[in-house]
Amino acid sequence: MASKGCGCKQPTNTRVLANGTIQQSFDGGLTWEDIPDDPRNVSPVFPPLVGIPGPTLACAGAKSGAEAARLLIEQIINSEGIFSAVNSLLVFLIGFFSTFLPVVGTVIVTILAALAFFLFQLGLAAFNAEDWPTALETFKCILFCHINQDASFSGTGLGQVKADVLEQLPTIPGNTFWHFVNSLGVVGLTNVCRAFPGLAGSCDSCPCSCDNPTLGEFGENLIPRPDIGVGWWQVTTTLKGGPECIPNGCFFAEVGMPACCLHAAYQILPPGINAPAGNREAVDCNGVSGFSNYGLGGCQIAIAFRSFNAATFEFQLLDCPP
């Protein structure tokens, strides 16, 4: 274990996982733990946008986030000199991102270095050749589909944005926006979505719907059930933890929605045994996680179905009322 003279434990190694999580080791890389002071999670959050949380405020946030990305792209295109070396790109990126993450230390520099290397290897000519206006419109809609109703982001929403930009955009814009979002994290993405209020435009054409929920880390066999009715799906829980966890109902199916969706109904198929009422979790449209009856009757962005032993749930998702 490394330490200073004061006896304070000091990390010996740092690494960045594929999902953007930064970890540190205190024993030369034998064991790892997430760093507690990642600036992307603990930096100051910009004040909320003025207005009542809802689709209008969410759209304002999405437009703001897309505007921040547009400014970054515009500055890259108009700054040919920064492509002279990776360090030039890195210095430029540190300056840009420090506006939204005031604490840009070694941790964020490590993340931004990945974006700098991506841009440098790509080259300015290839970057300029992309259809950025179309890509930015798609990016705006992706933000709108996963942003909270108060123009903030949760960890779940951040992960969904990162997945969608790779799936819905061509390679260069997709990777650029992935690095953009990954570098910002939950706090930074919230801040860019609150930085430019009052922009023109709407989100009416964004294809957000409750027709395509996604499966999280736990659960299996997420399939539509139109035979039951409109908006019905089913999913089977899987074990989250070791055998010692089984008596406590540690089988989960994590379901995320591409938009804020009304959880209208659910049922557990026999002989499945549901978790106790106090352990039925959902995440509402503001990113607040609550132990309730899976958020039944309310609008949610994620549900964690929980059961004793593997069990299949049938559930109904509908568009939230306007």
Q: What is the largest CA-CA distance in the chain?
A: 68
Whether residues 61 and 37 share a domain: the answer is no
Question: 110 falls in which pLDDT band (50, 70, 90)?
Answer: confident
Q: Mark whether 186 and 61 lie in a shared domain.
A: yes
**pLDDT exceeds 70 at position 105:** no
Residue 83, domain member (yes or no): yes
Domain range enclosing 29 = 13-42
Q: Distance between CA 171 and CA 296 in Å, rounded?
A: 39
d(CA 141, CA 261): 16
Among residues 159, 192, 225, the one where a domain terminates is: 192
Query: Are 29 and 73 in the same domain?
Result: no
Same domain for 165 and 222, yes or no, is no
Higher pLDDT pick, 97 / 13: 97
Task: Count the neighbouring beta carbons within 10 Å of the beta carbon of residue 19.
Answer: 9
pLDDT band for 1, please (50, 70, 90 cuts). Answer: very low
The rounded mean pLDDT for the chain is: 85
| C-beta atoms surrounding 316 within 10 Å | 20
**Within this chain, do residues 60 and 21 fall inside the same structural domain, yes or no?**
no
Q: Are strands 289-291 and 281-284 parallel, antiparallel or unpaired?
A: antiparallel
110 located within any domain = yes
- Does the residue 6 lie in any domain? no
Strand partners, 300: 261, 284
**Which amino acid would we find at residue 311?**
A
Q: Is residue 2 part of a domain?
A: no
Q: Is the domain of 37 the same as that of 97?
A: no
Structural domain count of the chain: 3
SS3 (DSSP) at 103? coil
**118, 226: one domain:** no
CB atoms closer than 10 angstroms to residue 247: 9
The answer to the question of residue 204 being in a domain is no
The pLDDT, as a whole number, for residue 101 is: 78
pLDDT tens, 39-71?
677 677 888 899 887 778 889 999 999 999 999
Q: What percent of the chain has pLDDT over 90?
A: 38
Could you tell me the pLDDT band of residue 272, with boundaries at 50, 70 and 90?
very high
Question: Based on the domain organization, do 221 and 308 belong to the same domain?
Answer: yes
Q: Looking at the structure, tell me whether residues 28 and 67 fall in a common domain.
A: no
Residues 61 and 148 grouped into a single domain: yes
Report if residue 207 sits inside a domain.
no
pLDDT at 322: 62
Asked, for residue 133, whether it belongs to a domain, the answer is: yes
User: Which pLDDT does position 96 carry in this prediction?
Assistant: 87
Q: Give how far Cα 212 sits from Cα of 208, 243, 316, 318, Å.
A: 9, 32, 12, 11
Average pLDDT, integer, range 286-300: 88
pLDDT in tens, 143-201: 998 888 788 888 878 888 988 899 899 999 999 999 999 888 888 899 999 999 989 98
Average pLDDT for residues 129-150, to the nearest whole number?
92
Q: Is residue 183 part of a domain?
A: yes
Give the ranges where the chain is alpha helix by DSSP (H).
39-42, 55-77, 86-97, 106-122, 124-128, 132-146, 155-168, 171-192
12-32: average pLDDT: 73
Same domain, residue pair 257 and 175: no
Residue with tokens 């890389």: 29
Listed range (33-37, 76-80, 149-153) with the worst mean pLDDT = 33-37
- What is the CB neighbour count within 10 angstroms for residue 45? 13
Same domain (yes/no): 22, 112? no
